[in-house]
């Protein structure tokens, strides 16, 4: 019979379209008609909204689109039904037109129902079957997204939902039929429009041949996204902990990568999507100088067209699909859906620079989050999902200057070079107390020096002959360029490598290359180097150094010369 054929299509749309199930069977069990009193205005069925979180404070209403006018059962399951319009025929027809759905040809040619403007839900449940794989897509979803704006729907108070069995469920007692479930919550998270049919005569299982489906339950449809972060490289340094930490020097760049997915904007008229990044004082992001590349599904986006970057102190925002200058409403992913398909991979690669505020041994942090629309009723109401925090460290070392009697020496001058080269010295900024030199950053030109000097010796100073160099990392070559004893001193040159423990920020010299004359030595704490100055060659430390070998050779030569002179006299 006609009603039985209608069921075969209706089951798939009502249940699969609303619940994400699929499939229609061809065979049906023997059935009997449900008493009409179970379908009338006085009859009631429970419609339940089910969520994964607390929805007890949501404002939900069930708006009838059609009522059951006929139903069949095998005694346990619903096996057939027919529909009658619930006063929304004009709104439904208009929504179908606005959704650009062609109703002139039925999708299910085996049934062949013609579209009727007086009872359009019969055609809807029969033909809009392409949402069976997901309740977030297809022509059924397109239809619902238009239907939610119809005055007959927005103006129908419907039946209010109340708290259900627990905070994750809300229920409404309604006349048996097909319903749109509207979330009118204006603040906080809210669902897009929902859709399903109720059970009949207490039966909520729909059977179509071998397949069964549950009616009377609507999934609360909300969606979000996440974001991750990792450090991809550290100039002049290293990256550890799976990209969660790095070490480098002031003035060097650190590369970051953030990964997200385009959130599900289905059911929204407008949708805000942004990735936010917050960083501590020792890091700088400069949009004009620091590189940034943003891709979606591997396609590179155009800045200021597909996304824009706004900055403030210690923070920047990547706003996707910008349409205005108002940050709270400056995104419309829906309007640019071709470039932002739901679920597409979003990758942001960018550089930052370590600046003068970096403190040796203390982590400079970089934390991100993703911000997105959470309420289709209020475009400016956003949810924020935290990302993660990465850490960047710099290190330091000390130079201690002594004479051969371990007396501290002030006024010794050194130059420091990156790596093994000795052409371009590192530039420093001297502290006000003269005990510390900080590596200059890229913005500093005046007030810098390429020479560091051990401090003045005073009886009150506990750092006599010591200078501390900060903001450094990696390998350096150190040359003494001026001794407190003048030109008679041998000036050592040595190498060292600074290594930061990226778990706690402590720093040590991981490698030390002593000078040929062994005038330099690594301190016991492995955080610095002590350099000895001798007043003359006889004052040099007797450590088997090169100078001693040279002195011995000279003594032999002098002895030989003296013997030759005696021979000549004889």
Residue 378 CB-density burial (10 A; 0-12 exposed, 13-18 middle, 19+ buried): middle
Residue 167 shares a structural domain with residue 240: no
* pLDDT band at residue 563 using 50, 70 and 90 as cut-offs: very low
- Asked if residue 38 belongs to a domain, the reply is yes
Instruction: Kindly report the CATH number assigned to the domain that includes residue 379.
Output: 2.60.40.740
Of the three residues 340, 364, 392, the one that is the final residue of a domain is: 392
* pLDDT band at residue 341 using 50, 70 and 90 as cut-offs: very high
- Asked if residue 570 belongs to a domain, the reply is no
- pLDDT at residue 318 is higher than 50: yes
> What's the pLDDT at 125?
86
CB 283 within 8 A of CB 364: yes
Residue 182 shares a structural domain with residue 272: no
* Lowest pLDDT segment from 172-176, 222-226, 384-388, 409-413: 409-413
Residue 270 shares a structural domain with residue 347: yes
- Asked if residue 558 belongs to a domain, the reply is no
The count of structural domains within the chain is 3
> What's the pLDDT at 21?
31
Pairing mode, strands 466-472 and 436-439: parallel
Of the three residues 170, 191, 219, the one that is the final residue of a domain is: 219
Pairing mode, strands 245-247 and 78-85: unpaired
User: What is the C-alpha end-to-end distance of the chain, expressed in Å?
Assistant: 145
Residue 351 shares a structural domain with residue 489: no
- Asked if residue 74 belongs to a domain, the reply is yes
* pLDDT band at residue 432 using 50, 70 and 90 as cut-offs: confident
Residue 317 shares a structural domain with residue 414: no
- pLDDT at residue 440 is higher than 90: yes
Residue 122 shares a structural domain with residue 232: no
Of the three residues 392, 421, 440, the one that is the final residue of a domain is: 392
Q: Which residue has the tokens 């997105």?
A: 372
pLDDT tens figures, 65-95: 999 999 999 999 998 889 999 999 999 999 9
The whole-model pTM stands at 0.85
Residue 415 shares a structural domain with residue 459: yes
- pLDDT at residue 9 is higher than 50: no
Residue 197 shares a structural domain with residue 245: no
Residue 320 shares a structural domain with residue 343: yes
What is the C-alpha separation between 324 and 157, in angstroms, rounded? 34
- Asked if residue 566 belongs to a domain, the reply is no
- Asked if residue 383 belongs to a domain, the reply is yes
- Asked if residue 190 belongs to a domain, the reply is yes
pLDDT tens figures, 514-546: 999 999 999 999 999 999 987 666 566 655 444
* pLDDT band at residue 331 using 50, 70 and 90 as cut-offs: confident
Residue 334 shares a structural domain with residue 405: no
CA distances from 205 to 74, 81, 125, 359 (A): 11, 13, 17, 66
Residue 234 shares a structural domain with residue 369: yes
Which pair of tokens denotes residue 473? 């990392």
- Asked if residue 560 belongs to a domain, the reply is no
Domain that holds residue 407: 395-539
């Amino acid at each position: 019979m006609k009603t039985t054929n209608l069921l075969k299509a209706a089951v798939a749309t009502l249940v699969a379209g609303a619940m994400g199930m699929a499939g229609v069977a061809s065979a049906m069990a023997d059935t009997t008609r449900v008493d009409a009193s179970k379908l009338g205005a006085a009859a009631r069925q429970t419609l339940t909204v089910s969520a994964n979180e607390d929805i007890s404070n949501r404002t939900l209403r069930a708006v009838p689109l059609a009522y059951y006018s006929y139903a069949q059962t095998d005694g346990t399951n619903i096996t057939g039904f027919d529909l009658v319009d619930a006063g929304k025929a004009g709104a439904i027809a208009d929504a179908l037109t606005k959704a650009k759905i062609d109703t002139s040809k039925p999708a299910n040619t085996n049934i062949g129902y013609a579209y009727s403007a007086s009872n359009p839900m019969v055609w809807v449940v029969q033909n809009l079957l392409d949402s069976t794989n997901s309740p977030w897509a297809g022509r059924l979803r397109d239809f619902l997204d238009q239907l939610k704006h119809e005055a007959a729907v927005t103006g129908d108070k419907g039946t209010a939902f109340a708290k259900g069995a627990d905070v994750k469920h809300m229920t409404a007692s309604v006349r048996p039929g097909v319903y749109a479930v509207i979330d009118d919550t204006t603040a906080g998270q809210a669902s897009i429009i929902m859709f399903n049919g109720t059970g009949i005569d207490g039966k909520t299982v729909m059977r179509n041949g071998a397949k069964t489906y549950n009616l009377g339950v609507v999934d609360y449809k909300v969606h979000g996204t996440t974001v991750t972060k990792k450090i991809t490289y550290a100039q002049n340094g290293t990256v550890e902990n799976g990209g969660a930490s790095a070490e480098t020097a002031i003035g060097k760049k650190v590369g970051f990568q953030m990964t997200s997915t385009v959130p599900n904007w289905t059911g929204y008229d407008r949708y805000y999507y942004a990735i936010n990044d917050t960083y501590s004082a020792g890091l700088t992001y400069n949009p004009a100088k620091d590189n940034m590349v943003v891709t979606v599904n591997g396609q590179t986006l155009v800045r200021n067209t597909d996304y824009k970057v706004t900055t403030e102190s210690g923070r920047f925002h990547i706003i996707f699909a910008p349409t205005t200058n108002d940050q709270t409403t400056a995104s419309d992913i829906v309007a640019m859906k071709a470039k932002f398909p739901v679920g597409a991979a979003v990758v942001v690669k960018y550089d930052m620079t370590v600046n003068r505020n970096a403190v040796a041994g203390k982590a400079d942090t970089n934390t991100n989050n993703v911000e997105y629309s959470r309420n289709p009723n209020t475009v400016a109401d956003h949810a924020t999902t935290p990302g993660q925090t990465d850490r960047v460290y710099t290190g330091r070392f000390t130079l201690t200057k002594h004479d051969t009697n371990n007396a501290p020496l002030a006024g010794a001058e050194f130059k420091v070079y990156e790596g093994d080269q000795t052409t371009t010295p590192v530039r420093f900024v001297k502290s006000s107390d003269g005990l510390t030199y900080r590596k200059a950053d890229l913005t500093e030109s005046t007030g810098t020096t390429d020479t560091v000097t051990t401090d003045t010796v005073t009886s009150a100073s506990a750092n006599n002959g010591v200078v501390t160099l900060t903001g450094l990392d990696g390998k350096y070559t150190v040359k003494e360029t001026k001794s407190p004893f003048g030109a008679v001193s041998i000036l050592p040159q040595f190498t060292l490598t600074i290594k930061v423990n990226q778990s706690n920020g402590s720093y040590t010299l991981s490698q030390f290359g002593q000078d040929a004359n062994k005038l330099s030595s690594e301190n016991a704490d492995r955080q610095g180097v002590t350099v000895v100055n001798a007043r003359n060659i006889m004052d040099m430390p007797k450590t088997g150094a090169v100078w001693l070998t040279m002195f011995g050779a000279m003594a032999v030569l002098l002895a030989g010369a003296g013997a030759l002179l005696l021979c000549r006299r004889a």
